[in-house]
Structure 1
Amino acid sequence: MHKSRSLWQSNLGFLMAAIGSAIGLGNIWRFSYMAHEHGGGAFLVPYLVALAVAGIPIILLEYGLGHREKGSSPMVFARLSPRFELLGWWMPVVAMFGIMLYYSVVIGWCVNYFFHSFTLAWGSDPQTFFFNDFLQLSSSPAEFGGFRLPILLATALVWFSCWFICYRDIRHGIEVAAKIFMPLLLLLTAVIVFWTLQLDGAWEGIRDNYLSADWHKINFLAADPEARAAAARVWVAAFGQIFFTLSLGFGIMIAYASYLPAKTNLARNALITAAVNCGYSVFAGLAVFGIVGFMAFSQGVTFDEAIVGGPQLAFVVYPQAISLLPDFNSLFGALFFLVLIIAGLTSGVSLVEAFTCALTDKFNWRRKKVVTALCLLGITGSLIFTSRAGLYLLDITDHFITNYGLVLGGLLQCLIIGWYVGPEKLRQHINKLGSKVPQIWNFFIRYLTPLVLLILLLVAIRGDLADNYEGYATIHLLLYGVGWLIFCLLIAYFFTRQPWLAARLKHKHRYGDDDLLV
């Protein structure tokens, strides 16, 4: 029997959930380090350009598709044409079995460090503690070395939390959680930022490294070929960051938009989601640059010597700075890692929801059973990343999933809507519901945005063919990188081959009298 589709209780609830999906761990450590590496304040120029020509166009596309067809990404693309259903499955499969399996482990690290904050367990050498004591990192990806029980238990707690939130329908599960978590996240982030600004050396770190601008780093018209190439890489990095931070290509925004009521201002919601997400990144950057500036001041070293990128920024640099604080070290540490946990969970539940929505749409299975089975599979799949080789495997898998899996999903979406369906039909649907999307959006979806995503793919391929990523052995890159992508493709293909239940693909719009896209 067909069950009626659950709807968000309010537009605010939808926005909180969508923004929560977009704001994740990468908004805090990835954006800040990229800004440092790519010209400080100058990085905001390509970042905002990328938001305008890639981020907003694709989020409008995904909101429009999900809302118009009232379905998950497999249902949406299967309705366009059975040939496209594989893409519809590819996106949530990559989200669930490509990203969430290791993302949950990183959130688990944050849970461990939240408790470590109360005793400053990392001591005077946070780097040694993180790699040797906490991770007990093996010497290579080939040496698993058994599981790290504290990490495994914390990861299980993360999966239980996702299960608890997603178990109930959208309005009583994810929407309630988003309404609690997002205001709390913004409040705690503000507390950390303003606390950081009071520290010695914090303002200097922000002023000299974040608010200052090295315009040469973004000048892709420079006379020197090497400077030109370096600047081009900065622009590519900015587009990549926008694409990943807005949760595009996951199938998440399509699923979330499918739960919206008939009369919803999609264009306004897309702009708010993008603006709040990017504004949060910039705001949180004040805390990162401030705390690194404080640490550089306290230790008498340069800013460049104090900062490192990736997970080390959160688990090495921040703990070291926390230990140097004059007062309330434990409280500051607990607040910081609580922010990371909340940011991670709001993204994590959306990754689970995208695949849950796909399964319930196709097979009409009971939501509670689907969520329970997925979370049990999830914790099982995450086990490999809780091993002593987990950091290596996480690094390799993340590189290939984000550089190929997500970008490919976004590129194919643009090509299908731009060249098979025609973006004008989708634009007209969005425009009927409130704020208007200008006609230039059609040009972006058909030409400019796919061109940018194609360049991202080619740059990633060229880099991986020139040198092995981070010096890893070829066998490990093939196994945990290429192999993981193939694994996701096989899962997507399996579900694509399963027949739809009778009438599941039939859909009559309850708003307006326009026909289906096809």
Structure 2
Amino acid sequence: MTTTGPTGSQRQTWTSNRGFILAAIGSAVGLGNIWRFPGVAYDSGGGAFLVPYLIALVTAGLPILFLDYAIGQRFRGSAPLALRRLWRKAEVIGWFQTMLLFIISVYYAAVIAWALSYFYFSFGNKWGNDTASFFVNDYLKASEPGISSELVAGVAWPLALVWVLIIIVLAAGIAGGVEKVNVVGIPLLVLGFGALVIRAVTLPGATDGLNALFTPDWSELTNLNVWIAAYSQIFFSMSIAFGIMIAYASFQRRRANMTSSGLVVGFANSSFEILAGIGVFSALGFLAHQEGVAVGELEGLTGPILSFVTFPAVISEMPGSTVFGALFFGSLVIAGFTSLVSLVVGVSVAVQEKFGLSQRVAAVVVGVVSAALSFGLFATTTGLFTLDTVDMFANNIGVVSSAIAMCIAVVWLAREGRVLRLHLNAISTFKLGSWWLPLIGVFAPTFLLVMMIQKIIDVIENGYEDYPNWYIYTFGWGTLGFALAGAIIGTATRWKGRDQADFEAWPSVEFLEGERR
């Protein structure tokens, strides 16, 4: 399905608002919802953490999501093109976001490959009794942090499958590929993970796990780090401010109801995180019960260690472990794949628009280049350490800095915040009041800046995970340098097949209001 743009150009669209919402939920609900939120909540005051978490959702998550939607839906392009149309000098921010999407996608695919492998391993609990040794030594064959060209076959084969499927989905288009994957995948994810949660809460010791997660420690509300953790979780879990939602919104129809869709996506994402917390900590309570220890004495309550070390140990102890394992790792695969699709869409559409390529050619080019980097960096014996380092720097510094830059550029430099608010109000039933601009122009960037500075100081003073300094400079700061260099080159490259009129002809807010009436 296509629509005609203001310059007569044709653009694909979602077949329905439901398709867009499911795709946006598929992007937001990813691996971090399952393995990050429960551990962060547990470490940040338990039930009390829900207070700053919900405040962060309302004051930063949803407002910046609306900003992404407004930019993409109004200016009809990927992050570089839409931001270029908004303000010429903002194109470099769009390319920085696109480079971050590219970087994140190449290692995210590797984690999905792990989940695919473990889906297979769950049939017969092939990880054995020492799940930590199996994951690090037997499966990943991890060596010391460094640079290796030795491929790990157990990772390489499922990784190849992941990239083949990604290329097929993108080549099929927005409606024929991306939308269909999410229309099928998201209901399956909810059903599968919901069944897993129901089983988990009936296990012996599940109540202990839930008490550990939700018992509030109200004193933690005075801890700045808890508030930073809440904003960090909302920010990273909603796929905002790094190009994904701009690209997805650009495929919406001209008069689609954007703010109401955003509310559905935001609260659906948070609801799934809470559901994940219930399932994960019920299972951890069961494991603690089996081992005769407190939940807090268990190791690996967050991140990949939770999913690939702690949870296999839980599954091995359960009656009907094969079904439980298949549900858990199947859910990881679906949640990860729908998020990966959105990451690669953001890159592919940007390349397609910049160089005047066809949809299928762009999908193949981006897919092949991304797959090559995935294999070279993350399917080797040092892939685990490289992934960990790149992920920390790309997310905690790269994505946060792109959000700060975008908010400042839109509100203070281009002075387009008011127009974007009027644009959303002209087409949506939930109206944004005057409160929206201070949130995206002052409050959110200020808090994100504090969060980023704190992380930078911590890395400079303490390093990261005891990795060698040369390794941190190469794969940490080097990742940010690579993204910045790509942004500069992308901005300097001439747009193929576009003239100045294609950057200027956009309907007025009054026109949209008239059409709505």
Q: Fold conserved (TM > 0.5)?
A: yes
Aligned twin of 2:427: 433
* Corresponding letter in the other structure for 1:387: T
Aligned twin of 1:475: 470
Deviations 1:71-111 (A, max 9, x none): 11111221233221111111021111x20111100000000
Instruction: Verify the 8 A CA contact 2:258 2:424 in the aligned structure 1.
Output: yes
Aligned twin of 1:217: 220
Instruction: Verify the 8 A CA contact 2:65 2:241 in the aligned structure 1.
Output: no
Aligned twin of 2:487: 492
Q: Tell me, in whole angstroms, the C-alpha distance in 2 between the residues paired with 1:25 and 1:241.
A: 12
Of 105-114 and 459-468, deviating more is 459-468
Matched, 1:275 2:273: no
CA drift of 1:3 comes to: 5.0
Aligned Cα root-mean-square deviation (Å): 1.6
CA drift of 1:192 comes to: 0.4
Matched, 1:450 2:445: yes
Q: From 360, 363, 367, give the equivalent of 2:359.
A: 367
In structure 2, the residue corresponding to 1:254 is in which secondary structure?
helix
CA drift of 1:466 comes to: 1.4
Stretches of structure 2 that go unaligned for 5 or more consecutive residues are 1-6
* Corresponding letter in the other structure for 1:471: D
Between Structure 1 and Structure 2, how many residues are aligned? 500
Instruction: Verify the 8 A CA contact 1:201 1:296 in the aligned structure 2.
Output: yes
Q: From 289, 298, 302, give the equivalent of 2:281.
A: 289
Q: From 180, 201, 208, give the equivalent of 1:197.
A: 201
Instruction: Verify the 8 A CA contact 2:140 2:154 in the aligned structure 1.
Output: no
Matched, 1:347 2:339: yes
Aligned twin of 2:10: 4
Q: From 170, 188, 192, give the equivalent of 1:188.
A: 192
What percent of counterpart residues are identical?
A: 36
CA drift of 1:307 comes to: 4.2
Q: Tell me, in whole angstroms, the C-alpha distance in 1 between the residues paired with 2:508 and 2:367.
A: 33
CA drift of 1:364 comes to: 2.3
Q: Tell me, in whole angstroms, the C-alpha distance in 2 between the residues paired with 1:329 and 1:502.
A: 57
Q: Tell me, in whole angstroms, the C-alpha distance in 2 between the residues paired with 1:52 and 1:508.
A: 30
Q: Tell me, in whole angstroms, the C-alpha distance in 2 between the residues paired with 1:386 and 1:492.
A: 26
Give the alignment's TM-score, normalised by structure 1: 0.94
Aligned twin of 2:3: none
CA drift of 1:170 comes to: 0.5
Instruction: Verify the 8 A CA contact 1:19 1:273 in the aligned structure 2.
Output: yes
Stretches of structure 1 that go unaligned for 5 or more consecutive residues are 220-230
Aligned structure 1 segments of 4 or more residues deviating by more than 4 angstroms: none
Q: From 235, 238, 242, give the equivalent of 1:246.
A: 238
Q: How does 1:81-230 map to 2 (within 5 A)?
A: 81-96=87-102, 98-138=103-143, 140-142=144-146, 144=148, 146-206=150-210, 208-219=211-222
Aligned twin of 1:265: 257
Aligned twin of 1:226: none
CA drift of 1:2 comes to: 7.5
Instruction: Verify the 8 A CA contact 2:427 2:512 in the aligned structure 1.
Output: no
Q: Tell me, in whole angstroms, the C-alpha distance in 1 between the residues paired with 2:147 and 2:475.
A: 14
Deviations 1:442-484 (A, max 9, x none): 1111211110111111111111121111111111000001111
Deviations 1:422-450 (A, max 9, x none): 42111111011122012101111121111
Deviations 1:407-426 (A, max 9, x none): 01111111012112242111
* Corresponding letter in the other structure for 1:508: W
Q: Tell me, in whole angstroms, the C-alpha distance in 2 between the residues paired with 1:193 and 1:92.
A: 35
CA drift of 1:160 comes to: 1.1
Q: Tell me, in whole angstroms, the C-alpha distance in 2 between the residues paired with 1:382 and 1:443.
A: 40
In structure 2, the residue corresponding to 1:5 is in which secondary structure?
strand
Give the alignment's TM-score, normalised by structure 2: 0.94
Deviations 1:110-140 (A, max 9, x none): 00000000020111111111111111110x2
Of 78-87 and 171-180, deviating more is 78-87
